[in-house]
Amino acid sequence: MDTFSFDAMQCICGYFNSDIVFPGMSQSPKRIVDEYEIEIYPEDCGITYLGDQPIPIHRGMILFAMPGTERYSELPIKNYYLKVPEQNSPITDLLKSMPTWFDSASVDFYASCINQMLSAIIKGDMWLKSAGMLQLLSYLQKEKEQIQSIGTASPKEITVVNDAIRYMKENLSKKCTLEEIAGFVHLSPFYFHSIFRKIKKTTPQKYLTEIRIEKASELLITTDMEIASIADQCGFSSQAYFTDVFRTHTNMTPRMYRIKMMKKYIR
């Protein structure tokens, strides 16, 4: 197994609001990037420039800037950011291989990782900061693999699918029919279904089920919630139906899964 080390305390992270840092200004000062920069945008805002390339900023955008790049932005902008020093490691190899920007349905997850790192800095907790950074980088790696598998999808199609996934995650306890999800992204069910399948290589309903199983698995091993309550919170119509679906995906009932994971404690 490959191993690597990094000093998370050398990495800089935070939340940026140009209204506070550059009040009354319409453009930020030009600067040369001296580290690898990752920026997560939780809302639509201004335009940022990488060299001469203008990039309109919108919610869900993850942007990467390489060392040596000239940067400035038309204000206002707000973002979460992570700056990683240049070093020879799998981390910088990953950042070098990322596109200039991509749309993500998991911008809130990335923001939570940055917030965890900020909390760790306040507490002086290196381990907590490292954990937050590794979670963020691990998810970036997964998204990179998804981007590579997308192929010929247009930016608009990718945005539609990411918006739909965000809607699914925010409404996990609800029924979330194909018609409802398609309506949220302002497309016909048939056209939305074809776009989603083109990009994710599965149907919207199968993807929604995978999200539900993933969340249910998390709740089973991190909480004492009753299985019926987990089924309800994850959008399953009954405990019996939840058990059948969970068994299909894991070859275990929810109760068996919970016990198996807890038994690892006494190994």
Please give the structure tokens belonging to residue 159. 């945005």
Residues 85, 10 contacting (CB under 8 angstroms) = yes
Cα 131 to Cα 137: distance, rounded to the nearest angstrom? 10
Instruction: From residue 225, give the alpha-carbon distance in Å to each of 245, 249, 252, 254.
Output: 18, 21, 18, 12
Task: Report the distance separating Cα 22 and Cα 15, nearest Å.
Answer: 14
3-class DSSP assignment, residue 59: coil
83, 36 Cβ separation under 8 angstroms: yes
CB 105 within 8 A of CB 74: no
Write the pLDDT tens digit of every residue in 19-51.
Answer: 999 999 999 999 999 999 999 999 999 999 999
pLDDT tens profile 234-250: 999 999 999 999 999 99
Asked if 84 and 98 count as a contact pair (C-beta separation under 8 A), the reply is no
CB 81 within 8 A of CB 39: yes
Question: pLDDT-based confidence at 267, cuts 50/70/90?
Answer: low
As a whole number of angstroms, the distance between CA 183 and CA 176 comes to 11
Indicate the pTM of the whole model.
0.69
